[in-house]
Amino acid sequence: MSDRLQLVENPDQRKVVEEYLNRVRLGPEELDDQRIAELQARIKQQLIEKNAVLIAHYYTNPLIQALAEETGGVVSDSLEMARFGKTHSAQTLVVAGVKFMGETAKILTPEKRVLMPTLEATCSLDVGCPADEFSAFCDQHPDRTVVVYANTSAAVKARADWVVTSSIALEVVEYLDSMGEKILWAPDKYLGGYVQKQTGADMLLWDGSCIVHEEFKAKGINELKAVHPDAAVLVHPESPQAVIDIADAVGSTSQLITAATKLPHSKMIVATDQGIFFKMQQAVPDKQLLVAPTGGSGATCRSCANCPWMGMNGLENLLAALEKGSNEVFVDAEIGAQAMTSLGRMLQFREQQGS
């Protein structure tokens, strides 16, 4: 580890994440074709009646992604989800994803109603970075600029100087490093380590990880690559460094889809949540997409490249949220205003970059 990279080990956070994961009800819904068609029709009708737009993350059920596309909504990464909701004219934003995405939409557009199919869907990075402990950690390092990943609660964002997504993290940290700033980074230690390695910035890392990306293994990917030597390896930077090291392309979900179109390979081994295959296959209809192997399989696998929390978004609970106005997202006004400062810096930075 370079002397400009420090990791603060915190095994307790792992226990907290495991306990949460065991407690919530997980698993995708099983529906027959007739019920799917009925739900799709009713959701479309509700979106019109309620002046609502569907904003879906790449990792959600492909049926939800398809509905978002068909109804004038969007399927995207968390940065674009935030930007889309802020500029769209609909009065109700229906966010299919995980809790921090709904919170971010509410912070950016407090005047709009934000609904989610479920409020239980969270993220191991969010769960593993409680606001009170994180705030105390920041207090211990007042000389550092606090940069947090978007996968955090509104309260953690409120404590930060900057929020970043994986699509903009490198640029922001590069900029801060050029200004001579030392960084406190949270919560994903793998993304933080990757950013540090690329930028050389002085970074102190919180010990958090994504339970999905953490399970990708370099050994398994190398074995798959031996069977498909003509395949490119696409890796999300929430994956361990050994996996990043064997990648042909590293990037956020949107950046990986772009990479799939640009790389000359006809096959791709993809190390991120399988939900991305819906949009990636649209972008490269003639290429073969292969799921990168994870640490376990079947019952021994905690994720199998499927985020359990993203999987809690279904057509049934999406319709229920629209019909009943349930699962509305609220953010404390003071926390929201503070979080808007750090989120706003990211959005302004992106605008200045002209993309």
Which residues contact ligand SF4 by CB under 6 A? 59, 98, 123-125, 151, 210-212, 238, 273, 307, 309-310
The string of DSSP letters for 226-257 reads: HH-TTEEEEE-TTS-HHHHTT-SEE--HHHHH
- Residue 187 to residue 235: CA distance in whole angstroms: 19
Q: Smallest distance from the beta carbon of 60 to ligand SF4, in angstroms?
A: 10
Of 248, 236, 303, 305, nearest to 274 (Cα)?
A: 305
**What does R_g of the chain's alpha carbons equal in angstroms?**
20
Cβ-based nearer residue to ligand SF4, 202 or 238: 238
CB count in 10 Å sphere of residue 355: 8
Beta bridge partners of 55: 74, 95
- Residue 138 to residue 144: CA distance in whole angstroms: 8
Cβ-based nearer residue to ligand SF4, 90 or 195: 195
Cβ-based nearer residue to ligand SF4, 59 or 137: 59
Cβ-based nearer residue to ligand SF4, 47 or 256: 256
Cβ-based nearer residue to ligand SF4, 59 or 278: 59
Q: Smallest distance from the beta carbon of 308 to ligand SF4, in angstroms?
A: 7
SS3 label, residue 67: helix
SS3 label, residue 205: strand
Task: Please calculate the CA angle 162-210-257 and round it to the nearest 5 degrees.
Answer: 80
CB 129 within 8 A of CB 187: yes
Q: Smallest distance from the beta carbon of 81 to ligand SF4, in angstroms?
A: 12
Q: Smallest distance from the beta carbon of 18 to ligand SF4, in angstroms?
A: 13
Q: Smallest distance from the beta carbon of 176 to ligand SF4, in angstroms?
A: 23
- Residue 25 to residue 121: CA distance in whole angstroms: 9
Cβ-based nearer residue to ligand SF4, 212 or 292: 212
SS3 label, residue 320: helix
Cβ-based nearer residue to ligand SF4, 90 or 212: 212
- Residue 117 to residue 29: CA distance in whole angstroms: 13
Q: Smallest distance from the beta carbon of 23 to ligand SF4, in angstroms?
A: 15
- Residue 299 to residue 112: CA distance in whole angstroms: 41
Q: Smallest distance from the beta carbon of 77 to ligand SF4, in angstroms?
A: 10
